[in-house]
């Protein structure tokens, strides 16, 4: 199998021979109860039977797209996507020792296809592949943890030799993510890019937070029309900007990242530019300092370019480049070199010679730290787009567009001109257990929604989860689930708590992850002890738990057990230990597996 870094080629080899005429070829539903698959129908047609079964959708019936030789495929309808098996090429052989007997190799690609344009889907699965050859019964050929997604440029590929009669794929979900892009057809602010195009609708208060240059400039006036005469902005650039503002899960690539950076730099706002700058500064695919600076300058991320130049002086990298004859003026161009690079280099050299240790030893991001809102400043109070929230007797001011977009206002109680949050019994119990107040939960929660802070202390994760659930903040619930998924399981009680949280708040990925961990060697013993706990008897998924302990695939097959590479090195969210600054969890699961395995 070749494909994403997490995928593995399966090959069932045949013997190479002379090329002969290739007969017609069809994909059909296989019968998992008996051997059925590639077979002859006369001398001019062969058929491959395919079966797909998942632990959530069950046994699926495949739909043949076409019997046309140019479009041989079969699709299986999963909950969110169609998993398509498609014939892509064949190798044709003739056995020398057997008169006129045809042999062949064939390739199938397996790729998910979304049903909604622009949607994204990703799944981490335990996969077991069964084959039948020479009309024997199905046998297990290969097992692996796979990462499947509709935006992978190199899909899973299956290579079959001449004797394969059938294929069955079994999958158990470890993680699944499905997101549809917002359509921007609701809101109290409209933007037209031409007199004949449909408007882009959005929340005016939310846009005032992220693009005050646009909203406050008078460009958007009744009837709320703008052609961006001063910003030279394309519609696609603005849409990418809105995806970021509305916290969509649109996967970033080189094309849309450039469009996003272009729009953000033209409308200029720290809330948007800071995370983009950190994204490019931490880009592991571009290790060369001049390349990162040049790329940053080209897409308008001046802060990132200044940060890299300043820190290069402090680290000695700039001096090393000069000793090797690096010509910055030629590399960056006159405009960027004299406007951005040289002033920043001079600033860093001057700071290096400063006697103040806070200056000569600091990095650029330490000298110019990000402004993190506390929601209680006079500026916050006077902003007409903010509303008051009374928390623990203290009035804080939050953008009403944030509340309208990412929660339900009717979940808050409005009284005496201010809003009051709902404090459920579950939230009271959690605050008591952690010895924290509501304001300690609210501030980092809204900083997360504003996009200015990706860190949540580990002792606040459950409080944020409960508050988000009580106020229908689905983004917060999903992001807290990501943190819980990667918490260290160090006891039967912690494992049980995860299962209880998954049941109570509908955290499907946490449930999948916990069930999978039951199969893994390091957690299997916790699972066996967990079933003796009194609270365990209240679980509704006891049958699934016990089945995984006894019949889990990874119990006997380590290739389907836990892998360190399932944790990304570039998380979106981090849970910070209450007593240290080390991250205890990371999100954005991605897997890596061995390649080129033959059956």
Domain boundaries along the sequence of the chain: 10-178, 189-253, 279-367, 378-483
The CATH code of domain 378-483 reads: 3.30.710.10
Asked whether the beta carbons of 318 and 345 are under 8 A apart, the reply is yes
**Interval 340-362: pLDDT, tens:** 999 999 999 999 888 777 787 78
Question: What does the pLDDT average to over 135-141?
Answer: 81
**In the predicted structure, residue 21 carries a pLDDT above the cut 60:** no
| Helix or strand (DSSP H, E) at 515 | helix 508-519
DSSP string, 183-230: ----SSEEE-SSTTSPPEEE-HHHHHHH-HHHHTTTSS-TTT----TT
> What is the pLDDT at residue 567?
41
> What is the pLDDT at residue 563?
67
User: Nearest 5°: CA angle at 427, between 485 and 430?
Assistant: 65
> What is the pLDDT at residue 286?
64
Asked whether the beta carbons of 444 and 457 are under 8 A apart, the reply is yes
**In the predicted structure, residue 409 carries a pLDDT above the cut 60:** yes
- Tokens 């002969």 locate to 20
Instruction: Please tell me which residue, 99 or 231, carries the higher pLDDT value.
Output: 231
Spatial strand order of the sheet with 394-399 comes to 394-399, 386-391, 418-420, 413-415
Question: What does the pLDDT average to over 240-256?
Answer: 86
Label residue 402 exposed, middle or buried (CB < 10 Å: 0-12, 13-18, 19+).
buried
Which of 148, 174, 255, 93 shows the shortest CA–CA distance to 553? 174
**Interval 323-333: pLDDT, tens:** 999 999 999 99
CB atoms within 10 A of CB 25: 17
Confidence grade of residue 15 (pLDDT, cut at 50, 70, 90): very low
Asked whether the beta carbons of 518 and 530 are under 8 A apart, the reply is no
**In the predicted structure, residue 17 carries a pLDDT above the cut 70:** no
**In the predicted structure, residue 431 carries a pLDDT above the cut 60:** yes
Cα–Cα distance measured from residue 555 to residue 571, given in angstroms and rounded to the nearest whole number: 29
Cα–Cα distance measured from residue 386 to residue 389, given in angstroms and rounded to the nearest whole number: 10
Dihedral angle of Cα 432, 433, 435, 438, to the nearest 10 degrees? -60
Instruction: Please tell me which residue, 80 or 593, carries the higher pLDDT value.
Output: 80
In this structure, what token pair is assigned to residue 515? Answer: 């069930």
Whole-structure pTM value: 0.83
Which of 2, 266, 39 shows the shortest CA–CA distance to 153? 2
Q: Where are the alpha helices (DSSP H) in 160-253?
A: 204-210, 212-215, 235-245
CB atoms within 10 A of CB 277: 24
**In the predicted structure, residue 537 carries a pLDDT above the cut 50:** yes
> What is the pLDDT at residue 22?
43
Most confident of 101-105, 247-251, 321-325, 354-358: 321-325
DSSP string, 443-483: HHHHHHHHTS--EEEGGGHHHHHHHHHHTT-HHHHHHHHHH
Confidence grade of residue 366 (pLDDT, cut at 50, 70, 90): confident
Mean pLDDT of the chain: 81
**Interval 461-517: pLDDT, tens:** 999 999 999 999 999 999 999 999 989 999 999 999 999 999 999 999 999 999 999
**Interval 194-240: pLDDT, tens:** 777 788 899 999 999 998 877 765 544 444 455 565 677 888 889 99
């Amino acid at each position: 199998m070749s494909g994403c870094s997490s995928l593995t080629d399966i090959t069932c080899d045949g013997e190479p021979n002379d090329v002969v005429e290739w007969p017609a070829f069809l994909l059909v539903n296989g019968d998992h109860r008996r051997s059925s698959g590639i077979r002859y129908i006369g001398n001019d047609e062969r058929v491959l039977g395919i079966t797909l079964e998942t632990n959530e959708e069950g046994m699926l019936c495949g739909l043949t797209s076409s019997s046309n030789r140019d479009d041989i495929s079969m699709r299986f309808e999963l909950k969110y996507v169609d998993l398509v098996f498609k014939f892509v090429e064949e190798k044709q052989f003739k056995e020398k020792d057997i008169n006129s007997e045809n042999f062949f190799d064939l390739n199938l690609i397996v790729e998910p296809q979304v049903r909604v344009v622009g949607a994204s889907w990703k799944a981490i699965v335990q996969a077991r592949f069964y084959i039948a050859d020479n009309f024997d019964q199905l046998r297990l050929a290969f097992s692996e943890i796979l990462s499947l997604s509709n935006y992978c440029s190199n899909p899973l590929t299956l290579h079959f030799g001449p004797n394969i009669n059938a294929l069955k794929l079994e999958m158990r979900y470890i993680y699944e993510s499905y997101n549809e892009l917002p359509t921007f057809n609701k809101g109290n602010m409209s933007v037209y890019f031409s007199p004949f195009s449909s408007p882009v609708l959005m929340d005016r208060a939310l846009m005032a937070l992220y693009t005050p240059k646009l909203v406050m400039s008078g460009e958007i006036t009744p009837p709320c029309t703008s052609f961006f005469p001063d910003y030279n902005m394309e519609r696609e650039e603005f849409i990418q900007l809105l995806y970021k503002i509305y916290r969509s899960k649109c996967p970033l690539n080189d094309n849309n990242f450039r469009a996003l950076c272009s729009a953000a730099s033209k409308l200029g706002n720290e809330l948007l530019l800071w995370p983009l700058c950190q994204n490019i500064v931490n880009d592991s695919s571009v290790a060369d300092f001049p390349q990162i600076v040049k790329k940053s300058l080209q897409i308008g991320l001046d802060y990132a370019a200044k940060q890299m130049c300043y820190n290069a002086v402090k680290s000695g990298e700039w001096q090393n480049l000069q000793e090797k004859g690096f010509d910055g003026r030629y590399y960056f161009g006159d405009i960027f070199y004299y406007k951005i690079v040289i002033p920043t280099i001079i600033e860093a050299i001057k700071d290096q010679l400063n006697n103040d240790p806070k200056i000569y030893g600091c990095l650029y991001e330490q000298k110019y730290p990000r402004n993190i809102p506390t929601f209680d400043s006079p500026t916050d109070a006077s902003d007409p787009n903010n509303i008051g929230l009374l928390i623990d007797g203290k009035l804080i001011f939050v953008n009403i567009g944030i509340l309208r977009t990412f929660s339900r206002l009717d979940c808050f109680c409005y009284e005496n001109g201010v809003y009051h949050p709902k404090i459920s019994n579950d939230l009271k119990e959690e605050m008591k257990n952690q010895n924290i107040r509501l304001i300690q939960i609210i501030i980092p929660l809204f900083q997360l929604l504003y996009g200015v802070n990706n860190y949540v202390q580990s002792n606040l994760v459950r409080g944020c989860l409960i508050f988000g659930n009580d106020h229908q903040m689905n983004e917060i619930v999903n992001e807290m689930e990501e943190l819980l998924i990667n918490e260290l399981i160090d006891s039967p009680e912690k494992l049980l708590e995860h299962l209880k949280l998954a049941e109570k708040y509908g955290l499907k990925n946490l449930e999948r992850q916990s069930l999978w961990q039951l199969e893994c060697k390091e957690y299997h013993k916790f699972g066996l002890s967990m079933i003796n706990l009194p609270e365990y008897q209240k679980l509704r998924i006891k049958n699934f738990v016990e089945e995984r302990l006894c019949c889990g695939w990874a119990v006997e097959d380590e290739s389907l057990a836990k892998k360190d590479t399932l944790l990304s090195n570039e998380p979106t969210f981090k849970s910070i230990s209450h007593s240290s600054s080390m991250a205890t969890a990371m999100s954005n699961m991605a897997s890596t597996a061995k390649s080129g395995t033959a059956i």
